[in-house]
Amino acid sequence: MSDLRNDVGFLLTRASGLVVRATNAALSDLGLRVRQYSVLALADDSGEGIAQRDLAEELGLDPSQVVALVDELAAAGLVERRPSPTDRRPRLVVATPQGTQVRRRAASSAEGGVQRQMGDLSGEEQATLRGLLQRVVGGSVGRCRAGGELTE
């Protein structure tokens, strides 16, 4: 019962590693890695832009990691930093038109990579998995951050 192959934590990291590899391979044609894609996707989804701090919070990254990722995406012309109209501290990250286009293609490629890894699961099973994972993730937002303490 303490067998590693039945350990939910181990299975989670093992499955994650496999999916990340498959997704990175699928995105390599576009010159993107998963990390960059996730930043691009969030920036593209937030019409008026998203602060880097919120980006870090959503992705579970350290703010300093977001700096480098946005730098790379900006150098590739996929996103740009814009000032907030109401606060001069944050820098709102938005996707450029080219970024939106690349994101669309990347989403398709990434989906293919994920399906190569999860093809054995039916649509319904994947929905079940998604729901369970959302509760694991959502239940701890605010309880444990990247460099944060545990609230207990």
**Which residues of the chain form contacts with a second copy (CB under 8 A)?**
2-23, 25, 34, 38, 41-42, 45, 58-60, 107, 110, 113-114, 116-121, 125-126, 128-130, 132-137, 139-140, 144, 150
Q: Contact with DNA (CB under 7 A): which of 61, 78, 79, 110?
A: 61
Coil/strand/helix, residue 83: strand
Residue 52 touches DNA, criterion: CB under 7 A: yes
Contact with DNA (CB under 7 A) among 30, 33, 96, 116: 33
DSSP 8-state symbol, 121: S
CA distance linking residue 105 with residue 93, whole number of Å: 20
Per rule CB under 7 A, count of chain residues that contact DNA: 28
Residue 55: phi and psi, rounded to 5, are -60, -45
Whole-angstrom CA distances from 37 to 3, 8, 51, 72, 148 are 35, 27, 16, 11, 25
Residue 30's binding partner out of a second copy, DNA, none, with CB under 5 to 8 Å set by partner kind? none
Cβ-contact 33, 24 below 8 angstroms: yes
Q: Which does 65 bind (CB under 5 to 8 A by kind): a second copy, DNA, none?
A: DNA
For residue 128, give the amino acid letter. T
11 binds DNA (CB under 7 A): no
Beta bridge partners of 92: 51, 82
43 binds DNA (CB under 7 A): no
Give the SS3 label for residue 125: helix
With respect to a second copy, which residue has the nearer C-beta, 83 or 137? Answer: 137
Residues within the interface to DNA (CB under 7 A): 17, 20-21, 24, 33-35, 51-53, 56, 61-67, 70-71, 81, 87-91, 146-147
